[in-house]
Structure 1
Amino acid sequence: MLTVKLPDGTEKQFEPTATAYDVAADIGPGLAKSAVAAVVDGEQQDLKAPLGGIAANCAGEAASDEASVELRLLTKRDPEALAIMRHSCAHVMAQAVMRLFDGVSLAFGPVTGNGFYYDFNLDHALSEEDFAAIEAEMKKIVKADEPFERLSLSRDEAIATCKEMNQGFKVEHIETGLAEEQTLSFYRQGEFLDLCRGKHIPSTGHIGKAFKLLSVAGAYWKGDNSREQLQRVYATAFFDKKELKAHLTQLEEAKKRDHRVLGKQLELFTISQTVGSGLILWLPKGAAIRQTLEDYLKDELRQRDYDAVYTPNIGKVELYQISGHYPYYKESQFAPIEMHQQGEEGDKYLLKPMNCPHHIMIYKSKPRSYRDLPVRLAEFGTVYRYEQSGELSGMTRVRGFTQDDAHIFCTDEQVAEEFRGCLEMTQKVLNSLGMTNYRVRLGFRDPDSKKYVGSEEVWDRAEAALKEVCESMDLPDMAIEPGEAAFYGPKADFVVTDCIGREWQLGTVQLDYNLPSTERFGLEYTGADNQPHQPVMIHRAPLGSMERFIGVLIEHFAGAFPLWLAPEQLRVLTVSEKSEEYGKQVQQQMKEAGFRVTGDYRGQKLGAKIREGQIDLIPYMLVVGEKDAENGTVTVRDRIEGDLGAMPVAEAIAKLQAEVADKTVRQVAEAAPAAPVEQGDGY
């Protein structure tokens, strides 16, 4: 018999051929009806997979009378179930497309953070006009309640099956991407059969009616722009129609806040194809926002005893080979530049993908004593990554960006205080922007991954140190996520929820015992014992990158920046031409008081000027007329609260300066339910 251990501690006996569905049915018909998948010994499984076979696979032997498994049944209420259902819905969408169009070749159909997509190759150019027909066919498939059936085929059988179905991409993937696999799994629902690892819900009927096709875009087979161009259909699905409606509402709000649209309307940035895709040209207003943020951060850095440094935009490939960034991240870096000038024959250079190796060499530029530590080096350093063209997106996914980067070199005893200081600085910066709704993700190593450098002992030491510091600070919603570490060390990421509920991974603080090691750069300092010791390195960037962060800010504020950050803080409006001279005096006074201010002295009606100021999202408008000129006053008009009445110029200056000094953030909408995380720029 097979012992099945349930989450509440209950143990039940079943035949080895029993499935998770059989267990659910034994508990009760309601659970059997609502269960959609299972977690067996920590791994997701189909509801109707034999539990005895799973136990045998885990043990690496045939099932025995003494076998046991731990079982957790998943229903629609469990977060993991949603991804499984969405993957099944991707198969249903592919089935519908194949019913409607001839000659469809299937690529891949994975789940994404907030939905799923499937890549197709077919002669018909898919568009949103096709969505209604595809959705109607999907509804028929769901209504038919076809079971998802798993088939295991030998390698030869799998290739023959895919050839018979004229699915060339699948054949290629088996022959190259799955070259080591001797047995491959397929899933069938109705007439549709697809190469797939799974897992799936029991039948199409469990999908329900809350699904929606969203958009269509171009993609390349396996992301290779030298290969076939495919058509990617994006979609989403939920178990509940209310959740779908809320998600679609969020998407509509996101469209209104799209930083690419607002950036153009508000003249913040532009991208020129003549300059190159993914390379941001900051316009004066956007540059004002960036400069304000940089000045704020530089003040913080000075107060926290950081030293500013500058490093070049290129470096020898050898530098990044030592650090491990090359060739590990070769696919996302610009190709090396080969030098052929006399004296440099054979040297290769890279556009700088990261600042840390350069800062390490600054640390190594002279002997260091324990009395010198901590050494804190900061730079707004521009780095370059060769993102695929299909992944580029305005300012949030670019090929050249500037990180608010810093690296701290310290002793073991200083790690806790220095790491805590980095976390506190990140919190302060986010709070000053009204981004107080965030969680902290502790990215630890996945022991089964080959991605990471350094010994297990060093990793255990680094993770323990990071965890201890973070737990002492009572950080919000802190959780450990294995597999999210940098390749050289664990990290704490700030995952911020914006005002419409989307999550963005922004600030990061990383602990590194590996790059300073003798296997890498061999960093040293002379200790109090007059012996050499290895320093610990902390990587930190409160914003991540200026481009991405400001792109997120544009959408978070919908372009309506708080006074301290707005590119145009004030605009002087004249009632008539008679008050133009006084208006210019007020404008000059405001400029001398430190504000970014413009004047509208056109002969248009005041109402039209005010409407234009509202459209331009100016925080405050200062209206001046003849009486104001006589009394030395201005009528202050708040973008949010409207007319605040007349007040002396000095009083207006004091009021507005206080708001800037306090970095007041007003009128940020409450967040909707969280959407999945958008990752940052760090390696």
Structure 2
Amino acid sequence: MSEIKVVRIHAGEREERTTTTGTKAWELFAEDTEVIAARVGADLKDLSYELQDGDQVAGVAIDSQDGLDILRHSAAHVMAQAVQELFPDAKLGIGPPIENGFYYDFDVETPFVPEDLEKIETRMRKIIKEGQRFSRRVTTDADAIDELQDEPYKLELIGLKGSGNSEDAAEGASVEVGAGELTIYDNVRRNGDVAWSDLCRGPHLPTTKRIPAFKLMRSAAAYWRGDEKNKQLQRIYGTAWPSKEELEAHLFRIEEAERRDHRKLGRELDLFSFPDEIGSGLPVFHPKGGVIKRAMEDYVRQRHIEEGFEYVGTPHIAKEGLFYTSGHLPYYGEGMFPALDVDGMDYRLKAMNCPMHNLIYRSRQRSYRELPLRLFEFGHVYRHEKSGVIHGLTRVRGFAQDDSHSYVTKEQAPAEIKHLLDFCLGLFRDFGLDDFYLELSTRDDSKPDKFIGSDEDWAIATKVLEDVCVDSGLELVPDPGGAAYYGPKVSVQARDAIGRTWQMSTIQYDFNQPSAERFNLEYVAPDGSRQQPVMIHSAKFGSIERFIGVLVEHYAGAFPPWLAPVQVQGIPIAERHADYLYDVARRMKVAGLRVEVDDSDDRMQKKIRNAQLQKVPFMIIAGDDDVAAGAVSFRYRDGRQDNGVPIEEAIERVIAAVATREQV
């Protein structure tokens, strides 16, 4: 054996070590029980990787993002092994890790039922207990084809790899075949027998015993490679975590998310619905939901005016040529609805408002003195989302954007982006969201056909956005390849009451649409020359519909008083007290409050229960003593109650809670 030198990286410290050929990565991290894989340079490797001279090696802990992905991908392999042991005719699709879990697709004659998942879980526990070793084996296309001749979907992936299209084969296909050499992973028992094998690029855990906690969640139909023209397979979803405690916490979050599901609460609170007669992804708001929507619109309209924006309005459709000029049809055409024939000409439902705002800007000559020029509208737009991704209010086909566009000089761009970011963060805080991070979406240089503009323009725009994000002090997460075709963007990612992340506002730097090749937007500079402005897109709510869906789940339907559809519920103890409460309600309505009186035949306790189920922030209850004293019993949503509160004081309490946007 000859000596080699490697660099071990641990806790940020670099340590040069001398070892010998044949040394495995696990030997560098034998004392680190949480390390389950290694990062060698930029590549993830199994701990069985044989070190090479000059390698720089860092341990991958099981609770890191890479470690979680490896854990979950390994659990997917164990699940697939269990399925094929229980259902020998099952054919394998793909099995990648996903956020918070994993899945594997199978071609089976009969769809899986819950009892099947219980059997699969039991078999997985047996496999895990056996401590089978994940063993990597390099093979050739020809040998893999021979070995996997009974697995048609794996053969297809090998063929796609050979054609250079493996990355586009399906979500997770690269997990199976990757690039370069082809590898198979064997699950090896302690006696050396191969229990099961799968085409995979890896890496994996050292053994199945390193899977501490898992659970199968559900099964669903899924088209092979995500194409509805292909055969429908059965997909089993699971989750895996570094400890049983983390698994239990995740399952609790799922239960809580189901309790907060805005689609369920929307029905229970009579806020909105999705009539089949109108079409998928096209919601309607009921009166109570309309109150929330109007309160949000009134708020954000006033905030835009305070921040220097001017309100404009544009139509829902336009000639098709407008969207060729903007670049949306060539680069975003799949997201737009098909053309409409109007007087023999092709028109399109708009999927965005910016092309029409550009025409407003271009309607007359502009001076540098007018910049920044800020235009804003509630523009209703339509996007041809695939039916499989539509989800309540959070993914729809028709929605209103609080859409704005700032036209600035290049020198003004950094200050305007900071202004917009501060605006967005202040808005979210008013709505009770105060835990954020930022995501910077940039161009994918490997796909130049998906983006327009020069390298220099992209570099400048990206640097401006990045500098503003860094200066904000918020966590900044890169999103390579996520930019719009016309420029990079920053999005505000907000965490809700149960820790889930939602993409909210977006701010996009656009140097392309104002260009001479597009809309030829100009302003007269101080020296009399004509210059091209920079256009900055921003949407604060993004989609008002989506933001309402997020808020319903964030508050579990218990909106703060300023947003609540009904702010006060009047509850008479007996029928004779109803007129008294109607009079109080009239005084509250004069003060701008939203009040209802329950004069039904239900008993008082039932009326209180109904108000609680409708998540009304305040109740005013009146009996004989209250009528005599000109007072009410003032009850809060959480069950607290103050008796004998004078009417004027009760009204002032609600007015104050609404005015301060109190989170009752």
Tell me the SS of whatever aligns to 1:288: helix
Structure 1 residue aligned with 2:201: 197
Task: Name which of structure 1's ranges 407-416 and 553-562 shifts more when overlaid on structure 2.
Answer: 407-416
Instruction: Check whether the contact 2:336–2:382 (CA below 8 A) recurs between aligned residues.
Output: yes
Deviations 1:13-50 (A, max 9, x none): 456x646xx2441x46324x653211122222233334
Distance 2:643 2:434 in 1: 32
What letter corresponds to residue 44 of structure 2 in structure 1?
Answer: Q
Distance 2:618 2:197 in 1: 62
Structure 2 residue aligned with 1:496: 494
Tell me the SS of whatever aligns to 2:503: strand
Q: Which of 118, 122, 146 is equivalent to 1:132?
A: 118
Deviation of residue 621 (structure 1)? Answer: 0.9
* 1:439-450 correspondence runs (5 A): 439-450=437-448
Residues 1:11 and 2:13 aligned together: no
Tell me the SS of whatever aligns to 1:236: strand
Tell me the SS of whatever aligns to 1:472: helix
Instruction: Check whether the contact 2:84–2:90 (CA below 8 A) recurs between aligned residues.
Output: yes
What letter corresponds to residue 357 of structure 1 in structure 2?
Answer: P
Residues 1:78 and 2:59 aligned together: no
Structure 2 residue aligned with 1:587: 585
Counterparts in 2 of 1:24 and 1:466: CA distance versus 1, 3 Å: same
Instruction: Check whether the contact 2:26–2:47 (CA below 8 A) recurs between aligned residues.
Output: no
Deviation of residue 629 (structure 1)? Answer: 3.4
Residues 1:329 and 2:332 aligned together: yes
TM-score by length of 1: 0.88
Aligned residues: 638
Task: Name which of structure 1's ranges 453-462 and 606-615 shifts more when overlaid on structure 2.
Answer: 453-462
Residues 1:567 and 2:565 aligned together: yes
Deviation of residue 385 (structure 1)? Answer: 2.5
Distance 2:216 2:328 in 1: 39
Residues 1:398 and 2:400 aligned together: no
Distance 2:342 2:631 in 1: 68
Distance 2:508 2:228 in 1: 34
Counterparts in 2 of 1:307 and 1:118: CA distance versus 1, 3 Å: same
Structure 1 residue aligned with 2:631: 633
Indicate the percent of aligned positions where both proteins have the same amino acid.
41
Residues 1:236 and 2:239 aligned together: yes
* 1:602-617 correspondence runs (5 A): 602-617=600-615
Counterparts in 2 of 1:487 and 1:274: CA distance versus 1, 3 Å: same
Deviations 1:561-589 (A, max 9, x none): 10000011111111222122222211111
Distance 1:391 1:186 in 2: 33
Instruction: Check whether the contact 1:637–1:643 (CA below 8 A) recurs between aligned residues.
Output: yes
* 1:412-451 correspondence runs (5 A): 412-450=410-448, 451=450
* 1:361-376 correspondence runs (5 A): 361-376=359-374
Instruction: Check whether the contact 1:620–1:638 (CA below 8 A) recurs between aligned residues.
Output: yes
Tell me the SS of whatever aligns to 2:109: coil
Structure 1 residue aligned with 2:46: 46
Distance 1:523 1:547 in 2: 32
Instruction: Check whether the contact 1:101–1:124 (CA below 8 A) recurs between aligned residues.
Output: no
Tell me the SS of whatever aligns to 1:523: coil
Counterparts in 2 of 1:255 and 1:376: CA distance versus 1, 3 Å: same
Task: Name which of structure 1's ranges 387-396 and 569-578 shifts more when overlaid on structure 2.
Answer: 387-396
Counterparts in 2 of 1:604 and 1:340: CA distance versus 1, 3 Å: closer
Instruction: Check whether the contact 2:451–2:485 (CA below 8 A) recurs between aligned residues.
Output: yes
Counterparts in 2 of 1:28 and 1:524: CA distance versus 1, 3 Å: closer
Structure 1 residue aligned with 2:460: 461
Deviation of residue 446 (structure 1)? Answer: 4.5
Residues 1:381 and 2:384 aligned together: no
Instruction: Check whether the contact 2:438–2:491 (CA below 8 A) recurs between aligned residues.
Output: yes
What letter corresponds to residue 11 of structure 1 in structure 2?
Answer: E
CA RMSD of aligned residues (A): 2.3
What letter corresponds to residue 86 of structure 2 in structure 1?
Answer: L
Tell me the SS of whatever aligns to 1:560: coil
Distance 1:308 1:137 in 2: 62
What letter corresponds to residue 5 of structure 1 in structure 2?
Answer: V
Instruction: Check whether the contact 2:320–2:339 (CA below 8 A) recurs between aligned residues.
Output: no
Deviations 1:331-364 (A, max 9, x none): 4443x2253744x2xx3x4332222223223222
Structure 1 residue aligned with 2:128: 142
Deviation of residue 2 (structure 1)? Answer: 5.0
Deviation of residue 389 (structure 1)? Answer: 2.4
Deviations 1:225-257 (A, max 9, x none): 232222221110012111111111111111111
Deviations 1:478-528 (A, max 9, x none): 344444433332322221111112111212222222332334433221111
Instruction: Check whether the contact 2:572–2:621 (CA below 8 A) recurs between aligned residues.
Output: yes
Deviation of residue 9 (structure 1)? Answer: 2.5
* 1:209-608 correspondence runs (5 A): 210-334=213-337, 336-337=338-339, 339=341, 341-342=343-344, 344=345, 347=346, 349-450=347-448, 451-474=450-473, 476-608=474-606
Distance 1:523 1:203 in 2: 62
Instruction: Check whether the contact 1:321–1:327 (CA below 8 A) recurs between aligned residues.
Output: yes
Instruction: Check whether the contact 1:525–1:533 (CA below 8 A) recurs between aligned residues.
Output: yes
Tell me the SS of whatever aligns to 2:412: helix
Structure 1 residue aligned with 2:663: 665
Q: Which of 649, 652, 657 is equivalent to 1:651?
A: 649
What letter corresponds to residue 139 of structure 1 in structure 2?
Answer: R
Deviation of residue 382 (structure 1)? Answer: 2.1
Counterparts in 2 of 1:585 and 1:338: CA distance versus 1, 3 Å: closer
Structure 2 residue aligned with 1:681: none
Distance 1:397 1:257 in 2: 17
Distance 1:263 1:577 in 2: 31
Deviation of residue 448 (structure 1)? Answer: 4.2
Distance 1:211 1:621 in 2: 45
Tell me the SS of whatever aligns to 1:148: strand
Task: Name which of structure 1's ranges 263-272 and 94-103 shifts more when overlaid on structure 2.
Answer: 94-103
Distance 1:28 1:603 in 2: 72
Q: Which of 203, 210, 217 is equivalent to 1:206?
A: 210
Deviations 1:81-119 (A, max 9, x none): 111110111111111111111421222222111111112
What letter corresponds to residue 94 of structure 1 in structure 2?
Answer: A
Instruction: Check whether the contact 2:262–2:549 (CA below 8 A) recurs between aligned residues.
Output: yes
What letter corresponds to residue 317 of structure 2 in structure 1?
Answer: I
Structure 2 residue aligned with 1:175: 159
What letter corresponds to residue 201 of structure 1 in structure 2?
Answer: L
Task: Name which of structure 1's ranges 600-609 and 151-160 shifts more when overlaid on structure 2.
Answer: 151-160
Tell me the SS of whatever aligns to 1:554: helix
Deviation of residue 660 (structure 1)? Answer: 0.8
Instruction: Check whether the contact 2:25–2:38 (CA below 8 A) recurs between aligned residues.
Output: no
Counterparts in 2 of 1:283 and 1:124: CA distance versus 1, 3 Å: same
Tell me the SS of whatever aligns to 1:172: helix
Counterparts in 2 of 1:275 and 1:300: CA distance versus 1, 3 Å: same
Tell me the SS of whatever aligns to 1:601: coil
What letter corresponds to residue 607 of structure 1 in structure 2?
Answer: Q
Task: Name which of structure 1's ranges 535-544 and 461-470 shifts more when overlaid on structure 2.
Answer: 461-470
Counterparts in 2 of 1:4 and 1:519: CA distance versus 1, 3 Å: farther
Instruction: Check whether the contact 2:25–2:48 (CA below 8 A) recurs between aligned residues.
Output: no
TM-score by length of 2: 0.91
What letter corresponds to residue 207 of structure 2 in structure 1?
Answer: S
Deviations 1:289-339 (A, max 9, x none): 1111111001101111211222222334443334333343344443x2253
What letter corresponds to residue 470 of structure 2 in structure 1?
Answer: E
Instruction: Check whether the contact 1:432–1:664 (CA below 8 A) recurs between aligned residues.
Output: no
Tell me the SS of whatever aligns to 2:527: coil
Instruction: Check whether the contact 1:634–1:648 (CA below 8 A) recurs between aligned residues.
Output: yes
Q: Which runs of 4+ in 1 moved over 4 A?
A: 446-449
Counterparts in 2 of 1:138 and 1:600: CA distance versus 1, 3 Å: same
